[in-house]
A and B are shown apart, each in its own frame.
Chain A
Amino acid sequence: MTLPLLLDVAVATLLVIGVAFSLIGSWGLAKLADFFKRLHGPTKASTLGVGCVLLASMLYFSFRPGAQGVSLHELLITLFVFLTAPISAHLLVKAALVLDPGARPAPPAEGDGTTEA
């Protein structure tokens, strides 16, 4: 565990940001009022939180003593999480709308939009 000071600070900062986002995301999941509000928290946690933690891990394993080149395992995980998080969130909203059709907001009234009448 002997990194240069600058890298140490960089890894520590990324860890703090990532863990803070994970914690805030889960806190939002536990605290907010209904499903569509709750969905906001974990989506931020899965992109920014896990992304920062994986970036910190990538820095650490690329520059630790005895490192063999750049560590690219994390890139695979990051790519997978970033690709799949929006898809699962979209499917979750579709499931929630099937379970509770009344939750769908009313369509905008005629001539209410930004287009010309």
Chain B
Amino acid sequence: MIVAALLPFAIGGVTLALLLALYRLLRGPGLADRILALDTLYVNSLALLILLGIRFDTTVYFEAALVIAALGFVGTVVLSKFVVRGDVVE
């Protein structure tokens, strides 16, 4: 019962975290800041998906969370490599 009462606030808190990361993504100022903000957005949306899974009492969100985790890591690595080397596939 406590969990059911708490979940809307938890989802609201993670949404607020997403908005803060979005603010840094739009504001910049540097390229590295934007990549870091994108990485944070990925991680926060992962937490949001898990919370939604508890809220709706279903396990279908786990696969989505796993795909987001994998794509977030690949995206961050590729963007950083592009900044360092100027190219992705050498």
| Chains A and B come from one and the same complex | yes
Question: Which residues does A use to contact B, with CB under 8 Å?
Answer: 1-3, 8-9, 11-12, 15-16, 18-20, 22-23, 25-27, 29-30, 35, 38-39, 41-42, 45-46, 49-50, 53-54, 56-57, 60-61, 64, 71, 73-74, 76-77, 80-81, 84-85, 87-88, 91-92, 94-96, 98-100
| A-B residue pair count with CB separations less than 8 angstroms | 161
**Chain B, interface SS category:** helix
Known contacts A1-B57, A92-B76, A94-B84: A8-B3 contact under CB 8 Å: yes
Question: Taking CB as reference atom, which chain B residue is nearest A24?
Answer: B17
Least distance between A93 CB and chain B CB atoms (Å): 8
Name 14 interchain pairs, CB-CB below 8 A, sorted by A.
A8-B3, A15-B3, A22-B13, A23-B14, A26-B17, A27-B17, A38-B24, A46-B43, A49-B43, A50-B47, A53-B50, A73-B66, A74-B50, A85-B43
Assess whether A29 is in contact with B40, with CB atoms less than 8 Å apart: yes
